[in-house]
Amino acid sequence: MRLSRYFLPVLKQTPAEAQIPSHRLMLRAGMLRQEAAGIYAWLPLGHRVLKKVEQIVREEMDRAGAIELLMPTLQLADLWRESGRYDDYGKEMLRITDRHDRELLFGPTNEEMITEIFRAYVHSYKDLPKNLYHIQWKFRDEQRPRFGVMRGREFLMKDAYSFDLDEESGRKSYNQMFVAYLRTFARMGLKAIPMKAETGPIGGDLSHEFIVLAETGESAVFCDKRVLDLPIPGFDVDYRGDLQPIIDQWTSLYAATEDVHDVARYERETAPENRMTARGIEVGQVFFFGDKYSKPMKATVTGPDGVDRAVQMGSYGVGVSRLAGAIIEASHDDDGIIWPDPVAPFGAGILNLKPGDAACDAACETAYAALSAAGKEPLLDDTDERPGGKFATMDLIGLPWQLIIGPRGLAEGTVELKRRAPGERKTLSLESAIQAITG
């Protein structure tokens, strides 16, 4: 992409309403625009990040054997009356009446609808297990939306739902999602710690939240800090094999949010030097709730014994839009965002310090073509902005690499290459710089 043709409305000033770094930086970097309280438009740069995050979530769900579909944003109120949650949900549910006075709602989650879909088609244990997921916009009418996409009202969530014949098999589905989550967040450059958690309005008695440590997190967390060094399962993990040892390894060390924190157990199980109290951002949560929905909604399957029973279910959420913010909370400095490569909106920036200069233009075009061909999706700053402004924008938007091309360097056969994370610059030939980025 050439910046002169792109739409990247960076802000020079820090918006007063933004209280945390991710919100400030998403507004300043031209990623986001607020359209109403807790409702945002994702500007082109933000949209690219959102798509990268979504795609990693999708790939790891597919790898774990989950099957993608897409449920609508609007749901019938009557569906939620079947489970009993319509009245329970309170003011967070956005209730809507259509032109024919039918009661709808903007879905905050989809347990009811997926159970309705399941029961319409699946009647035999032979079709189990199944794990169905979608990535769709949800709405929760937060009393006080704040912190940008971290606590918005309209948000993008991946939610998966597992269906099994019995609890033991249900637990295996739960473990598959647990492992998929470890991989998902690690691929985005995040350290996400699974912690025992409350089940809240979703229900059930088995649940883990996946928490990214960040000063601005909304939850206090307590954990054994050795959990930070546990190995992430590889891409070749056998999802159809026994995953329990991985789960045991991750859950044997103490880790809990304040809601379920057990001080006595914490102090008993965790040596003082390993105790870590921190704040965290919830980026995902997994639940096993058995027949909480299948029983009232009559989603039954016939077992091998010919007996009908309510299917055993779990649900598994990832906050896709929130993750864009969480990654920034975990990875930024005073100058701006530092994107981990896998979620960077562009793989590299090319700074033409003197557009119109034949040598600069030619070198930039060479780099642009080479990086494009290598799938690095470069952003070429071909605007008339002064060099200082170009440097500031590139640091702000946080692309992993900056390839800086100016007339003085070119006269000596060199360009500069900066890796955003440590911030160091190297002087080298154009070919070597391209090689370093693509190699």
Contact 197, 211 (CB under 8 A): no
State which residue, 49 or 281, has the beta carbon closest to its own copies. 49
With a CB cutoff of 8 Å and minimum separation 6, the contacts of 68 are 58, 61, 62, 132, 133, 134, 135
| 102 interacts with its own copies by CB under 8 A | yes
Show the beta-strand stretches assigned E in 275-354: 275-290, 300-302, 308-310, 312-319, 332-333, 336-337, 348-352
| 346 interacts with its own copies by CB under 8 A | no
State which residue, 301 or 410, has the beta carbon closest to its own copies. 301
Interface region with its own copies, contact rule CB under 8 A, candidates 18-26, 87-95, 211-219, 259-267: 87-95
**Nearest distance, CB of residue 63 and its own copies, angstroms:** 13
State which residue, 40 or 222, has the beta carbon closest to its own copies. 40
Please give the Cα distance from 95 to 106 (Å, whole number): 7
Coil, helix or strand at residue 87: helix
**Nearest distance, CB of residue 49 and its own copies, angstroms:** 11
Please give the Cα distance from 365 to 410 (Å, whole number): 14
**Rounded to the nearest 10 degrees, what angle do helices 244-252 and 167-187 cross at?**
70
| 201 interacts with its own copies by CB under 8 A | no
Contact 112, 80 (CB under 8 A): yes
Please give the Cα distance from 132 to 272 (Å, whole number): 43
| 68 interacts with its own copies by CB under 8 A | yes
**Nearest distance, CB of residue 96 and its own copies, angstroms:** 5
Among 42, 80, 125, 293, binds its own copies (CB under 8 A): 42
| 139 interacts with its own copies by CB under 8 A | yes
**Nearest distance, CB of residue 129 and its own copies, angstroms:** 9
Structure token digits, residue 212: 């990214």
**Nearest distance, CB of residue 104 and its own copies, angstroms:** 7
| 386 interacts with its own copies by CB under 8 A | no
Cβ neighbour number for residue 127 with a 10 Å cutoff: 13
Write out the residues near its own copies by the rule CB under 8 A. Answer: 5-7, 9, 30, 33, 35-37, 39-44, 46-47, 50, 65, 67-76, 79, 91-92, 94, 96, 98-100, 102, 104, 106, 113, 116-117, 120-122, 130, 132, 134, 137, 139, 141, 143, 153-154
